[in-house]
Amino acid sequence: MFQVNKNDFAKIEQLIKKGITRGFGDAGKLFINITPKDSGNAKRRTTVYNTDTRKIIDANYDYAGVLDRGQFPNPPKKGTGKTINGFSTQAPKGMSQPTIDAMPKLIENRLKNLGLL
């Protein structure tokens, strides 16, 4: 018969939470890294944080939706090679979808690092 001690289960639960939190932090770094750079404002104004109930990537600038749709001002403010027909050459798929696609692997890697997988 297999039994799990309540204290052992609590330790495992804490490790899982830690792995998810760290994996989400990795996802936030990825989101910021793939954010297109013109003046650097978008990268500077993006923050990643946790609350008791949620994990948040906050792209706190007016044109966040435009960048996340893979668009970019057309023509770009400073110039050359940043768009093709109004779509970003730096992040054509935006930032959210590539980050969402990468999250399972990022969390899996963190859980492996903690010895849970």
pTM higher than 0.85 for the full model? no
Q: Distance between CA atoms of 91 and 82, rounded to whole angstroms?
A: 10
pLDDT at 99 over 70: yes
Predicted local confidence at residue 16, as pLDDT: 94
Mean pLDDT over the full length of the chain: 87
Please determine, for residue 105, whether its predicted confidence score (pLDDT) is greater than 80: yes
Mean pLDDT of 81-94: 76
Q: Are 46 and 31 in contact (CB under 8 A)?
A: yes
Q: Strand pairing of 83-84 and 55-59? A: unpaired
User: CA of 71: how far to CAs of 5, 99, 108, in Å?
Assistant: 53, 17, 31
Average pLDDT over residues 105-109: 95
Question: Which residue in this structure is represented by tokens 């990468």?
Answer: 102
Q: Cα–Cα distance between 48 and 50 in angstroms, integer?
A: 7
Average pLDDT in the 80-109 region? 85
Q: Is 66 exposed, middle or buried (0-12, 13-18, 19+ CB in 10 A)?
A: middle
